[in-house]
Amino acid sequence: MLLHVHADNPNERHIKTVRECLLDGGVIIYPTDTIYGLGCDIFQHKAIEKICRIKHIDPHKAQLSFVCYDLSDLSKYTKNISTPLYRLLKEYLPGPYTFILPASKEVPKILQSKKSTIGLRVPDNNIAREIVQQLEHPILSASLPGEMVEEYTDPELIYENFKNLVDIVVDGGAGGMVPSTIIDCTKEEYEVLRMGAGEWNTVDR
Q: Would residue 199 count as lying in a domain?
A: no
Q: Would residue 202 count as lying in a domain?
A: no
Q: Would residue 205 count as lying in a domain?
A: no
Q: 79, 93 in Cβ contact below 8 A?
A: no
Domain that holds residue 123: 2-194
Q: Would residue 204 count as lying in a domain?
A: no
Q: 135, 23 in Cβ contact below 8 A?
A: yes
Q: Would residue 13 count as lying in a domain?
A: yes
What total of structural domains would you count in the chain? 1
What is the rounded CA–CA span in Å between residue 151 and residue 166? 17
Q: Residue 166 sits in a domain of what CATH number?
A: 3.90.870.10
Q: Would residue 203 count as lying in a domain?
A: no
Q: Would residue 181 count as lying in a domain?
A: yes
pLDDT greater than 80 at residue 28: yes
111-163 pLDDT per residue, tens? 876 668 899 999 999 999 999 999 999 999 999 988 777 788 999 999 999 99
Global pTM reads 0.93
Helix (H) or strand (E) holding 22: helix 12-23
Confidence of residue 202 (pLDDT cuts 50, 70, 90): low
35-85 pLDDT per residue, tens? 999 999 999 999 999 999 999 888 777 778 999 999 988 888 998 889 999
Q: Would residue 103 count as lying in a domain?
A: yes
The per-residue b/e assignment along 14-30, b for 16 or more CB within 10 angstroms, e otherwise, is bbebbbebbeebbbbbb
